Amino acid sequence: AEDGYDLWLRYRPLGSAQAETYRQHASQLIVGAATPTQTVTRQELLRGLGGLLGHAPPLSDSVSSDGAIVAGTPASSPLIAQLRLSTKDLGRDGYLIRSVIVAGHATTVIVGNDDVGVMYGAFHFLRLLQTAQSIAHLDLRETPRIKLRVLDHWDNLDGHVERGYAGNSIWDWQKLPDWLDPRYADYARANASIGINGSVLNNVNANAQILTPLYLEKVKALAGVLRPYGIRVFLSVRFSSPIELGGLKTADPLDPQVQRWWRAKADEIYQYVPDFGGFLVKANSEGQPGPQDYGRNHADGANMLADALAPHGGIVIWRAFVYSHEQPDDRAKQAYTEFKPLDGRFRANVLLQVKNGPIDFQPREPFSPLFGAMPKTPLMMEFQITKEYLGFATHLAYLGPLFEETLRADTMVQGKGSTVARVIDGSLHGYALTGMAGVANIGTDRNWAGSDFNQANWFAFGRLAWNPSLSSRAIAEEWVRMTFSNDEAFVKPVVDMMMGSREAVVDYMTPLGLHHLMGNGHHYGPQPWYDGGPRADWTPVYYHRADSHGIGFDRDSSGSNAVAQYAAPLAAQFNDAAQTPEQDLLWFHHLPWDYRMRSGQTLWYELVAHYTRGVDEVKQMRETWRGLDSHIDAERYQQVAAFLAIQEKEAQWWRDASIAYFQSVSGLPLPPGFAPPQ
Ligand code: GCU
């Protein structure tokens, strides 16, 4: 059934002409199976080629005809060793794919320095076929630009996924370790196909139980499934675990007993999982315990854990997502204020994980000013793949452009070209460790991600973690071809629809730099009027500040002065409303309703126009999809169509509720010709 389970690894038969052409370059397959990684690589090539071409090429040991495919490392394959290709600088993960002559025969070689690199190369090779590219004259070389490419699962041990909209957790803790759901291996294949090499199994709001022997047995079993695919397991840990599990009176990071407890715990974990990746930690954030409970700082906390993991090669990923409603300062400023002074104070095996924007995964935020501000501390990107603030499962919002916008943003800290991508790939500040994390959108739904199009966000995250300079449009095109069809009449309109989809969400939810206007707690639907919560920092009116005079959060030098956290040229630009990009206008400025926008319209009219445009864009998406039914299976076609109908209804809800509310505050008439909802 076309239920989306196969993700972008569908391997359905290609058209006969295409298959015939490819078969000329797939006459025999020479790939070892001496290690688990070689074995899964061979399986994938057999499965992929078998599916795409109708039957898999026969396995063999030597090249005896034109069209052989040889995959391996110089160490694993004498054939590849003979070619004397230089593989040293490929590292563990890099690979070459080349069309060469072996024993007088045209041959395709997939070469790595390590089995894992060969596996990534095999997936790339299959992708070429899946996306209908020529494989006749290949000369490809790929190495990842970022070392740690991880998914953060916000999965609780009881199976609930925090901010998950695709069913329950895929980790069946209750049946582990003895029952290994085949889904785990499919999860690993999907991740390996896009280069993801780490998985944080549990929620950042962590339960201490994960570190008990009972659970470590289960973690070990999962690690065993993921390992052949080059994926290492990480765990989120609760900072107060020494109290909850160890019976200690304190979790003070400077207390020798506490330090001993973590060292022993780390030693124990590595007995279960010798290649364990390390800890992810949310500390002193939204009520979680942390070093500040004992008058210590974040570096004290991170370093204590880092010291426990260091003997085993583990790392600590410490989150910079901290803010407190007891702190009167603008929430957007707090992470920078907290962490910037600690630059250079962290151990070498600590990465600081920073959300893309200063607040919280909004449909649009300017990049976090921490990027570029901590040259002596490796900063790791945290994106959210699950659409907590972008319509949960049903709204079609391709996040590639959001990720790309952040990665390409120029921090200016070392002059022009100091992009966020160059901060996190380590090239700007010479970081030794580099990483990108995505909060997973994966659950037990048959299609894994809650909708077919949400799969694209997982895919795009992985591709950008491998190479943050890829274009989100090119990624969308790959994904559409792999997931649906190579038919040009389908690909082009669907890619265009995806590319505009995130901006549509921005328009109908939070245009012009507005943010955090969604329903309290659950974060679904509009609630810009809400001001009843005990915490101002979770309250929409705190963020939009609309009154009869105007709207927007004043973060310029006359307000919270958050602009000053950016490099001088940007600070100056953002400090001036006339120079601030209009997409971020109300993020940085509180402006009168009759402020003149670049279009010549008033701010009020323009705001209304954006909301309306958002709805129109969704109508257009539905229209586009309506014409495409003949190109794909009815099952997926219909679900997408139904979800787009939900999206249109809810875009209208956002627009009407928001405009009605803001009008009640501004007291201004609606623009002439404003069409009431039909
Ligand atoms: C958001 C989200 C929480 C999550 C938090 C975090 O605030 O709503 O569910 O725990 O981010 O990233 O820690």
| DSSP H helices in 555-633 | 568-575, 585-588, 603-626
49-77 confidence digits (pLDDT tens): 999 999 999 999 999 999 999 999 999 99
pLDDT confidence of residue 678:
53
Q: What is the DSSP letter of 26?
A: -
Cis peptide leading into 36, omega within 30 of 0?
A: no
| Close Cβ partners of 264 (under 8 Å, ≥ 6 residues apart) | none
- pLDDT exceeds cutoff 70 at 677: no
Please give the distance, rounded to the nearest whole angstrom, from the Cα atom of residue 41 to the centre of ligand 1: 37
List the structure tokens of 56.
Answer: 């898999």
The answer to whether 343 and 298 are in contact (CB under 8 A) is no
Counting ligand 1 atoms within 8 A of each CB, the residue from 152, 154, 386 with the most, and so the one to mutate, is 154
Give residue for tokens 């390409």.
408
Nearest CA among 254, 265, 256, 258 for reference residue 309: 265
- Tell me how far the alpha carbon of residue 360 lies from the centroid of ligand 1, in angstroms: 8
Atom of ligand 1 at shortest range from CA of 388:
8
Fold classification of 16-142 is Chitobiase; domain 2 (3.30.379)
> For residues 625 and 451, what is the distance between their CA atoms, to the nearest angstrom?
15
- Strand order of the sheet with strand 105-112? 28-31, 68-72, 105-112, 95-102, 139-142
Q: How high is the pLDDT of residue 674?
A: 82
Burial 461-477 (b: 16+ CB within 10 A, else e): bbbbbbbbebebbebbb
Q: What is the pLDDT of residues 442-476, one digit of tens each?
A: 999 999 999 999 999 999 999 999 999 999 999 99
Distance 67 CA to ligand 1 centre (A): 51
Question: What's the gap in Å between 137 CA and the centre of ligand 1?
Answer: 48
What is the atom index within ligand 1 of the atom nearest the CA of 286?
13
Three-state DSSP class for residue 251 = coil
182-215 pLDDT, tens digit each: 999 999 999 999 999 999 999 999 999 999 999 9
- What is d(CA 594, CA 446) in angstroms, rounded to the nearest whole number? 50
Tell me how far the alpha carbon of residue 271 is from its chain's centroid: 30
- Ligand 1 centroid – CA 447 distance (Å): 24
Residue indicated by tokens 């909708």: 451
- Residues 380-397, mean pLDDT to the nearest whole number: 98
Residues 1-56: pLDDT tens digits?
799 999 999 999 999 999 999 999 999 999 999 999 999 999 999 999 999 999 99
Q: In testing the pocket of ligand 1, which one of 152, 161, 163, 380 has its CB within 8 Å of the most ligand atoms?
A: 163
Instruction: Judge contact between 321 and 280, C-beta under 8 A.
Output: no
- Domain limits, the chain: 16-142, 148-264+323-470, 507-553+590-666
Residue length, the chain?
678
Which atom of ligand 1 lies closest to the CA of 523? 8
Model confidence over 292-321: pLDDT tens digits? 999 999 999 999 999 999 999 999 999 999
| Residue with tokens 């996306």, as numbered in its chain | 131
Helix 298-309 to helix 256-272 angle, to the nearest 10 degrees? 40
Banded model confidence at residue 676, pLDDT cuts 50, 70, 90? low
Phi, psi values for residue 248, rounded to 5°: -80, 160
Q: 133-186, pLDDT tens digit by residue?
A: 999 999 999 999 999 999 999 999 999 999 999 999 999 999 999 999 999 999
The answer for 72, left when phi > 0, alpha when psi is -120 to 50, beta otherwise, is left
Type of residue numbered 30 = I
| Cβ neighbours of residue 671 closer than 8 Å, sequence gap 6 or more | 605, 608, 609
Structure tokens, 462: 């992985």
Superfamily of domain covering 507-553+590-666: Alpha-glucuronidase, C-terminal domain (3.90.1330.10)
DSSP state of 583: G
Query: CB neighbours (10 Å) of residue 487?
Result: 17
> Do 211 and 265 contact (CB within 8 A), yes or no?
yes
Helices (H) and strands (E) in the chain, counts: 20, 15
pLDDT more than 70, % of the chain: 99
Active site residues: 286, 360, 388
- pLDDT level of residue 325 (50, 70, 90 thresholds): confident
Ligand 1-lining residues (CB < 6 angstroms): 162-163, 204-205, 282, 286, 321, 360, 388
**ipTM summary value:** 0.99
pLDDT digits over 619-645, tens only? 999 999 999 999 999 999 999 999 999
Provide the pLDDT for residue 577: 98
Average pLDDT over residues 406-423: 98
> Residue 220 pLDDT > 90, yes or no?
yes
**Local confidence band at 586 (pLDDT 50, 70, 90 cut-offs):** very high
Residue 205 Cα: closest atom of ligand 1: 10
What does the angle CA 161 – CA 392 – CA 517 come to, to the nearest 5 degrees? 110
| Model pLDDT, residue 540 | 93
Asked if residue 654 has pLDDT above 70, the reply is yes
Nearest alpha carbon to residue 508 among 647, 666, 359, 661: 647
Q: Which CATH architecture has domain 148-264+323-470?
A: Alpha-Beta Barrel (3.20)
- Whole-number mean pLDDT of the chain? 97
Q: Is the peptide bond before 676 cis (omega within 30 degrees of 0)?
A: no
In this structure, what token pair is assigned to residue 437?
């994390």
* Residue type at position 160: H
What predicted TM-score, i.e. pTM, was given to this entire model? 0.98
